[in-house]
Amino acid sequence: MLLPNPEITKAKQRHTSYCVGIPVRETCTDGVVPKVHAAVKIPSALRDKLKAELDKMEKDACHQEETLLTQYVNSMVAVPTKDGTLRLCIDPVDLNESIRRPNYPIPKLEASTSNLHGAKYFTKLDLRSRYWLLSLDEESSDLTTFNTIFGRYR
């Protein structure tokens, strides 16, 4: 039996954010020229689904509409899934080139599996929306602004 995370449960009740923990801060390298991408054309058959998904994400406080000017505006791609919903993906190609990344070594499989010796309980996680669990500080959030036919969001 899985027990709910009290921090996530409180956030859902407040309808503010599913993000938990200390906000992540991203910084860009100096001398890189920011880029603003236009909204990608969306087939008319997917527009209602796209608007519904954006509204749902805004209601869940995953994203919010952006009205101020930001240095980076990324492209957004809407990918239909097998169940008929849309998966929204941003394409931060220019941002990826300029971001400073901390290096985190990925543990080897052997090291991870040896830690499981004697474990009794395991869980299966749905990581479809895993990035929504990372809170970004205000300045970093501006870097993730993306363009849609309905406006800009971050």
Ordered alpha helix ranges (H), 78-125: 93-98, 109-114
8-49 per-position pLDDT tens digit: 444 444 334 445 555 666 777 777 788 888 888 888 888 999
Give me the domains of the chain, ranges plus CATH numbers. 6-101+127-153 (3.10.10.10)
**143-154 average pLDDT score:** 87
Instruction: Give the closest residue to 153 by CA, choosing from 35, 67, 34.
Output: 67
Contact partners, residue 59, CB within 8 Å, separation at least 6: 15
91-104 per-position pLDDT tens digit: 888 888 887 777 77
The yes-or-no verdict on residue 107 having pLDDT over 60 is yes
CA 75 centroid distance within chain: 14
**Terminal alpha carbon distance of the chain:** 35
CA 120 centroid distance within chain: 32
Structure tokens at 74: 């990324």
Averaged confidence pLDDT in the chain: 76
Q: Are 137 and 25 in contact (CB under 8 A)?
A: yes
